[in-house]
Structure 1
């Protein structure tokens, strides 16, 4: 207990400095960020470059980002058919911009294009961390403008609360006649309880974050698995002991997620899988390290044709968020975010997991080994054991 208090004091001294000593700070965070006194939330903001080293600028930066995010919501979540006049009054503009408008830049065209992507985001966010009830609970701080009837923008839930969501595009035939092409997409809303009017579940907040991110990054858009990257980030901020930090969890999560994705986005681009930038390169590095540290195990996997694509693809792309319970994921991410080489430690953790399974993998056949690596026995092998082994491999 005394050692823990000393550790908290070290964090306190480091974070209260006028300019953060990042070398010392990373070393502290690498060994785990405490939940107490909002340390983990603050540490992740610094490690993900959301907050600068200069403590005196933090409040100014956060206020600016919160205004920016509010503007994103206003601009990206489109409610076609209405717009605000100069005096702020909402007026109907259906005559100017209607669902059959052939202009590809119309709000209705954008609305219909977004629906297909929104169905997938909705489906993935509803099943975030199914072992926890947290994401199904109502947030303390819903977006008031969205859930309480601001007619200019609309909650995304209302667009997918029906079992069938229509995605429509405008097409013109050879005679120059415009018509609508409609596809009917099933949403995954069945079986989920809807909260009372004026409330939002945590998963709905994540849905909005991912939707806005996809709109701001049309070249990448939304790719399945991004929800698993956002989930732990949002959980840390939305469950923080500080009420003020919980209130702004959505904004903080969005910008931290955006910064994190800027570093790992290549893993989500399929066309880069077999290049030096993609996930294939990471898996090759993992196998090279494994051969260097344990050639016998590496050759066993190769002999059985147990390819890293069968298990390491998910490990590395999702930063182990599917392999461990959420508290263990947060502990691993403390070390990953603290890595000065930016995720080289990710390879070490993956190799450590394989080496810790060495005896079973050497003796097992292909089916049993496949099952083992796809379902890492985290209840038997503690996360601290994995990290300790990864540190040994990194030396």
Structure 2
């Protein structure tokens, strides 16, 4: 460890050791990158995402309250529904005449428990598919967590886990939906995994659960608590880096509660960026279209030659910037680089305006290739951004910010 790095760690500890955190100073330090040693990044993210208050004396009581609240969510939305009707996992074809006469499963009332259950299953299947394939180049999310949910692993709780619920659910007809970019997604009835994918889908031993299952549970509970937005494809890419950071916290006491802490930090983050996920707001002033246009307007101001080249080739920002902005660049870089970028984004006082400058910097740093390339080459370059030292990208974005 270099002496400079030790100094930075000491600076963070000094700020975080104060009875009341100096938020401006913490933002300034975090913007240049947060050390991962001693759980500093985990603590800083919790403060920057408004999970922990600035008064240090309140931390313990608040975290206990929130973690207890999350346990209550688990009981009400996952455990109790399974206990209430042990056979809720059956398909629609398996509903008995007795059930039909009683008015339960086929009750046309949209508020009926069965109707809600089947609707939840449609959401759960999409979450399951996305959570399973989270960061496929990393084994972390397929590995078992050291802290499986106690409530769910309690043998006295006879209920179906989300994993079992997905396995038992059969939807007779395909669910066809078009995502925001016009791609058609088709969810077919579940089938046994192909031999080539057994490593990805093989269930863990009883009493264990993989990290991706924790992410799935977080997203399912979020969808249940936020029916107005529910689950939108891509939210898994927002939860992933937060959960990974908290689940690898060297502080075992906090690491044990990574699930609950991730849920509330994710919820707070979504409160700030959820407009990006709401299609009806796309063309509004706060929607994703407006933000994409701001990337191009910034580029026009900083590098008019490159801007005109992209305009000439009719390369619209929605062809690439949609994913950059919506998912906070989580799909453009390896996870360690994403986490470093998020240090700066979370520290941004303007709340993600810096992301526009990072996007603009990414364009300028490959300007030579873009100026020389044709439409096909440039589209490939922008949709599969080349390997780059993210420190250079962040430095360029900072230069653009100070050159206003």
- Same-fold status (TM-score > 0.5): yes
**Match for residue 88 of structure 1?**
none
**Match for residue 198 of structure 1?**
207
- SS of 1:165's partner is coil
In the TM superposition, 1:1-395 aligns within 5 A as 1-77=2-78, 80=81, 82-83=83-84, 98-151=104-157, 153-162=159-168, 165-166=170-171, 185-187=188-190, 190=193, 191=197, 192-378=201-387, 381-395=388-402
Residues in 1 aligned to 2:41 and 2:361: alpha-carbon distance in whole angstroms: 25
Residues in 1 aligned to 2:261 and 2:333: alpha-carbon distance in whole angstroms: 24
Could you tell me whether the CA contact under 8 Å between 1:297 and 1:358 is conserved in 2? yes
Could you tell me whether the CA contact under 8 Å between 1:167 and 1:184 is conserved in 2? no
Distance 1:188 1:16, change over 3 A: farther
RMSD over aligned CA atoms reads: 2.1
Instruction: Provide Cα deviations, 1:50-77, integer angstroms capped at 9, x if missing partner.
Output: 0000000000000000011011111122
Higher alpha-carbon deviation: 145-154 or 219-228: 145-154
**Match for residue 94 of structure 2?**
none
Distance 1:223 1:109, change over 3 A: same
Could you tell me whether the CA contact under 8 Å between 1:30 and 1:339 is conserved in 2? yes
Residues in 1 aligned to 2:335 and 2:257: alpha-carbon distance in whole angstroms: 21
Distance 1:154 1:288, change over 3 A: same
Could you tell me whether the CA contact under 8 Å between 1:122 and 1:188 is conserved in 2? no
Residues in 1 aligned to 2:258 and 2:203: alpha-carbon distance in whole angstroms: 22
Distance 1:81 1:49, change over 3 A: closer
Residues in 2 aligned to 1:149 and 1:102: alpha-carbon distance in whole angstroms: 35
**Match for residue 174 of structure 1?**
none
- SS of 1:371's partner is helix
**TM-score normalised to structure 1 length:** 0.89
Instruction: Provide Cα deviations, 1:95-154, integer angstroms capped at 9, x if missing partner.
Output: 988434454333322211101111000000000011100000001111132234454643
Deviation at 1:211, TM superposition (A): 0.4
Residues in 2 aligned to 1:348 and 1:249: alpha-carbon distance in whole angstroms: 31
Deviation at 1:7, TM superposition (A): 0.6
Could you tell me whether the CA contact under 8 Å between 1:144 and 1:198 is conserved in 2? no
Instruction: Provide Cα deviations, 1:134-183, integer angstroms capped at 9, x if missing partner.
Output: 00000111113223445464310001125x62379xxxxxxxxxxxxxx9
Greater share of helix residues, 1 or 2? 2
Residues in 1 aligned to 2:113 and 2:79: alpha-carbon distance in whole angstroms: 7
Distance 1:211 1:257, change over 3 A: same
Could you tell me whether the CA contact under 8 Å between 2:204 and 2:210 is conserved in 1? yes
Distance 1:195 1:82, change over 3 A: closer
Could you tell me whether the CA contact under 8 Å between 2:357 and 2:397 is conserved in 1? yes
Could you tell me whether the CA contact under 8 Å between 1:159 and 1:165 is conserved in 2? no
Greater share of strand residues, 1 or 2? 1
